[in-house]
Amino acid sequence: MTGAAGNIGSLVREALRPEVKRLVLLDRVPLRPEAENEVVHTVDLRDAAAVESALTGADRAIHLGGIPDEAPLPDLLEANVLGTHHVLEAARRTGMERVVLASSNRVGGFYATGHLTEPQEPARPDGLYGVSKVAVEALGQLYADKFGLSVICLRIGSFEPAPTEPRHLATWLSPRDTIGYIRAALTAPPSTRFVTAYAVSGNTRRFWTLPDTSELAYVPVDNAEAHAADIPGDLAPDPTAVQAGPYADPEFTLKHLRP
């Protein structure tokens, strides 16, 4: 698992540790093994040889590493796109069975909130970060089509312990559902070649379709609506507004462009 020191990585690490024979953890941040079956590597994903060395012997990978938000495009290309290429190439070279890629809901941020979006629809990224995740998905599709690698892309929603703002009523991904989606992606049938799915809790107001259980056998159990009474602000959605909310504002990206 790359990005093992991150918020999602830390959660998944704890959940999967008792379920696997060996858990290989990669991050730029030094980690310490917390169990006998953990192996840790301090790795920069831009270093292809180091990535391959760390992943050798693993049968599946969860790729969570990279820059998680808007940033200058050169940085995103290095960390997110090139880093993903190195993980996929390591998987190909070492004969790995499957790679689960962390994509993002931000690949379609310019769809309207009133439009229930499916992952097969054309990408409409809300910023440079979203563009990098479109490229991540394209790399996954390439390695599935050209090299026969099994790849599952999860478009992560708003990962939070609980929803805290009106947009989260649609986009929230609970910790429990996060683990459920990742476990389902890791254990999908070997015949699964390529799947892109929105990883979001079963929110009543969600913007995105839930995965087809024939492709990804998980049904989310949490619903942001249970927290609506605790969320301040106007909760009435505008069906013509864009799904990304403030992430789609020009200012959100302009600060990362050359003046």
Q: pLDDT tens for residues 22-32?
A: 999 999 999 99
Q: Which residues face 155 on adjacent strands?
A: 103, 198
User: Token digits for 13?
Assistant: 């690490």
pLDDT in tens, the chain (259 residues): 999 999 999 999 999 999 999 999 999 999 999 999 999 999 999 999 999 999 999 999 999 999 999 999 999 999 999 999 999 999 999 999 999 999 999 999 999 999 999 999 999 999 999 999 999 999 999 999 999 999 999 999 999 999 999 999 999 999 999 999 999 999 999 999 999 999 999 999 999 999 999 999 999 999 999 999 999 988 887 999 999 999 999 999 999 998 8
Q: Is 111 a catalytic residue?
A: no
Identified catalytic residue from 111, 129, 143, 198: 129
Residue environment code for 218-227, b if the CB has 16+ CB neighbours within 10 A, otherwise e:
bebebbbbeb
200-224 residue pLDDT tens: 999 999 999 999 999 999 999 999 9
Q: Which domains, and CATH codes, for the chain?
A: 7-254 (3.40.50.720)
In the DSSP assignment, the letter for residue 24 is E
* Contact assessment for residue 61 and residue 96, using Cβ atoms and an 8 Å cutoff: yes
Q: How far apart are CA 70 and CA 161, in angstroms?
A: 22
Q: Which secondary structure element, helix H or strand E, spans residue 38, and what is its range?
A: strand 38-42
